[in-house]
Chain A
């Protein structure tokens, strides 16, 4: 049985990208909650329930899967990961992080491969096939 994920999080500053990603994730019907944050800092706030996300966990469930953009203003994907590693274990949770990028720079994929926190690396845009592949690989779909 395909078990819906509790929460998927998109971290990307680009509104059209988020628009496209939302369409594909909704079509896949694989999550109860889709959280879109347009900056790394906001994502960290969400994970730690601070600032604008100060509330109990029930409203802001811990994501099981994050699609993370590399190229963002202020805090980019890599910097987010650095901050994420600083979080307490229970805040980190057991999150699968997939890096999404428009970057054609091969250095980025090599760098991502060296980081244990990153489970996958993909080129934008997020497609139905990519979602399917990720779910199968990491969530027994």
Chain B
């Protein structure tokens, strides 16, 4: 648009200038010379009139006569040529025509003048009055008026040309004016446009550039931000986009750098391009720091050493990884406040901890101290702390930094050491042993209070004495001296580092038994011998006593076995021998009843019945007792098929089973190793009991089974009988113990004790589980290989 404006303006100016130039050229080349020539023509007219007049009237004026001749012959033709050239270019043809008429009139005048001249050619011609007069009259009548007329015509042309010239000048002025106008308009337009453009530029270019400049300045200061400008599609827009892109990339780099600073070594970052030196350097730096940090962490972990930094003003505490470990704090949930750290300090140490803190915050001197913490997991730990403050230019504390070391183990060690020292002292004090220490020469260097009690000598009596002169009996002294010499020579001693039993003497010169342990030790390059001495007199006595009672026990045991054997023999003999008189009684009472039954009174009959009953019972008792005493007398062991045994028993008990309708069921039973007759008796007793102690109103049911256990069989005889109260579970297995009166249930009270004896002889156990009214379950075990 601007260009168009300039072009239009230029064309206008050029046209104007061209017009101007044409006008000027017209004026200078045509108008002005024409005017000059026309005036010259006037002058020439005047000169011709004047010279002609002079020709007539001034006879002697040769100059003028020459001038007139020149005018006629040279000047006028010359001028005419000139004027014709000019008049040919005149705009108005009538003026040229007018000029042509003037030429014609003048040329006629010239002819007249020539007549004059020729009449008055010579000096003597003037003397001719006629000629002269004629000439004068021609002047008067022809030349002068003719010249005047020509002059008037010429003046008309001149004034016309002058008008044209004036007109042209006016045009010229007008063109100039127009040019000025154009220039002014152009200038104003340029000013206006310039202002507009500058404002536009300011808005479109300068503002974003300023923003970019500010942003770049900020970048220079390390502040990374974006240019907040509407991104247009022009160059500025591209520039803003590029700068923002730069900012973004820088931000990514800065973020990465920040992450490194925050020890987050795993944040993702890629160099912005292959030429991104900073990015690559950052990654290299990250890797180096990470490696160093890991090494540091490892080192800290090994040393159990953590570090911290506390920003006092912002109450921000940062901890190293190991310190998080020591405090058992989860780094993620840690709120970075100092208060959170304070809460970990052991309540008993918090006062001291805070006092130390106040002190170094005031005097700014490094502090080293120990305290206890209760870690976030509740573990009490000992820590050693080294603190240091960082102050600013005004001497104010801005940071505290320091290291923390977990010294729990060391403390435990120290504690254990001091404990063990205490323990040693306690052991010394509490030891039953007297402690005596001698040096290389055998001189006593320590004689403790127990030794004082044991031997009767006080420490002050014994220190420096030779052992061989005090507690060692005469007969051992030489051996002791030899032993000492041997040890000093070879470092060996047959009695060292073990407990021996020897004799010693006390202040009263009584010999007694002691136990003695000697430990050699090297103190300051010299040997010492620590002796632990114990009075074993009472132990020796007790040992003698023990030996005696052991012998007694053995003898008693032998006697017991013998007595047991005798007893069994007795029971066998007694029951065997009792049978004979009993049979006699039984026979005779039977005879008596046969003879006198019903012949005496009722009481007598009852007495007889009781006697018979009792003798029958006695028979059973004796039989059972005999049987009981016989159990185990036969040691033969063989494979017993329990199924066969059970069949035999059931056959034997056929009658009772039939009478009671007993329902006896048995699972398959195993082969066992044992005594067949005894096993049979065991089975029989249990089945008989189950039938005998049935409930009055129901059929007896018996279930027999056997179960294989680790290395034995467990047999079960379960019935639905009357059951047994739990309190009698043991008693029923004791011989002669009965739970019922004879009127209720017959029996000698031997059956189950038989069973117990048989089972125990087969290395088993027998027991009962029962509920009164519901039934009993007898169970016994038989070892697979019982002997």
Contacts and interface: CB of A to CB of B under 8 A. Distances in A.
Interface of A: 13-16, 19, 23, 38-39, 72-74
Contact of A74 (B603, B613, B728): B728
A119 B640 CA distance: 56
B625 to A, nearest CB: 16
Contacts of B738: 73-74
A15 B740 contact: no
Nearest to A38: B741
A39 B610 contact: no
A23 B603 contact: yes
A25 B35 CA distance: 210
Given A73-B738, A74-B728, 9 more contacts: A13-B742, A15-B610, A15-B742, A19-B610, A38-B741, A39-B741, A72-B741, A73-B737, A74-B738
Nearest to A76: B737
B749 A73 contact: yes
A74 B739 contact: yes
Contacts of A73: 737-741, 749
A74 B741 CA distance: 9
Contacts of B603: 23
Nearest to A42: B741
A73 B746 CA distance: 12
B73 interface: no
Contacts of A13: 741-742
Nearest to B737: A73
A74 B728 CA distance: 8
Given A19-B606, A73-B737, A38 B749 contact: no
B614 interface: yes
B622 to A, nearest CB: 16
A38 B613 CA distance: 18
18 contacts: A13-B742, A14-B742, A15-B610, A15-B742, A15-B743, A16-B610, A16-B613, A16-B614, A19-B606, A19-B610, A23-B603, A38-B743, A39-B741, A72-B741, A73-B738, A73-B741, A74-B728, A74-B738
Contacts of B740: 73-74
Contacts of B737: 73
A130 B742 CA distance: 26
Nearest to A71: B736
Nearest to A13: B741
A14, A39, A73 pick with most chain B CB within 10 angstroms: A73
Q: Which 5 A-B pairs have the closest CB atoms?
A: A73-B738, A16-B610, A13-B741, A74-B739, A38-B741
A74 B614 CA distance: 21
A101 B613 CA distance: 20
Interface of B: 603, 606, 610, 613-614, 728, 737-743, 749
A87 B31 CA distance: 179
Contacts of A72: 741
Contacts of A74: 728, 738-740
A19 B608 CA distance: 12
A13 B749 CA distance: 14
Nearest to A17: B610
Contacts of A19: 606, 610
A13 B740 CA distance: 9
Contacts of B728: 74
B740 to A, nearest CB: 5
Contacts of B610: 15-16, 19
A27 to B, nearest CB: 12
A23 to B, nearest CB: 7
A12 to B, nearest CB: 9
A19 to B, nearest CB: 6
A46 B738 CA distance: 22
A8 B610 CA distance: 23
A73 B734 CA distance: 12
B612 to A, nearest CB: 11
Contacts of B614: 16
Nearest to B736: A71
A15 B746 CA distance: 13
A23 B602 CA distance: 13
A42 to B, nearest CB: 9
Contacts of A38: 741, 743
Central interface residue in A15, A38, A72, A74, by most chain B CB within 10 Å: A74
A7 to B, nearest CB: 22
B611 to A, nearest CB: 8
A19 B749 CA distance: 23
A73 B728 CA distance: 11
Nearest to B613: A16
A76 B610 CA distance: 23
B433 to A, nearest CB: 50
A73 B750 CA distance: 12
B323 to A, nearest CB: 73
A15 B739 CA distance: 16
A74 B743 CA distance: 14
Nearest to B745: A73
Nearest to B610: A16
A16 B612 CA distance: 11
Contacts of B742: 13-15
Contacts of A23: 603
A23 B607 CA distance: 11
A13 B741 CA distance: 6
A14 B613 CA distance: 11
Contacts of B749: 73
Nearest to A75: B739
Nearest to A12: B741
A93 to B, nearest CB: 25
B686 to A, nearest CB: 19
A16 B617 CA distance: 12
A16 B613 CA distance: 9
Nearest to A73: B738
A72 B613 CA distance: 18
B722 to A, nearest CB: 12
Nearest to A39: B741
A101 to B, nearest CB: 14
A19 B740 CA distance: 19
A72 B739 CA distance: 8
Contacts of B606: 19
Contacts of B743: 15, 38
A74 B737 CA distance: 7
Nearest to B749: A73
A135 B743 CA distance: 31
Nearest to A74: B739
B473 to A, nearest CB: 55
Nearest to B731: A74
Contacts of A15: 610, 742-743
Nearest to B747: A73
